[in-house]
């Protein structure tokens, strides 16, 4: 069995059905960050079953709250991915 890394993140996206901007927090496998940038998958899938999949084309921004990954941000679509450091917590941008 593979030992996949999980990333705690907040996804800001346009709800496909309602058309409003909303947010969802959960954990995803780090490999999904790469599939977003390569468009090799249509949906972002959370590890938590109560979070429904999000269409990649609806994603506005991904904010990573806990980052244990060892891949470069340059490998991922930096247009939508932000990393939160301990100094950033509580700040409104």
Q: What is the mean pLDDT of the chain?
A: 73
Query: Residue 5's pLDDT is what?
Result: 82
Contact yes or no for 83/73 (Cβ under 8 A):
yes
Closest by Cα among 34, 53, 52 to 43: 53
Contact yes or no for 24/58 (Cβ under 8 A):
no
Of 38-47, 56-65, 66-75, minimum mean pLDDT range:
66-75
Query: Residue 90's pLDDT is what?
Result: 45
Phi, psi of 2 (to 5 degrees): -70, 150
Question: What element of type H or E holds 44?
Answer: strand 43-44
Higher model confidence: residue 88 or residue 28?
28
Closest by Cα among 61, 33, 28, 62 to 46: 28
């Amino acid at each position: 069995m593979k030992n996949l890394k999980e990333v705690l993140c907040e996804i800001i996206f346009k709800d496909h059905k309602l058309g409003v901007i909303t947010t969802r927090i959960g954990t995803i496998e780090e490999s999904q960050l790469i599939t977003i940038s390569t468009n090799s998958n249509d949906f972002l899938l959370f590890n938590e079953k109560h979070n429904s999949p999000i269409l990649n084309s609806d994603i506005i921004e991904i904010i990573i709250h806990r980052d244990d990954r060892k891949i470069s941000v340059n490998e991922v679509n930096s247009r939508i991915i932000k990393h939160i450091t301990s100094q950033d917590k509580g700040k409104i941008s």
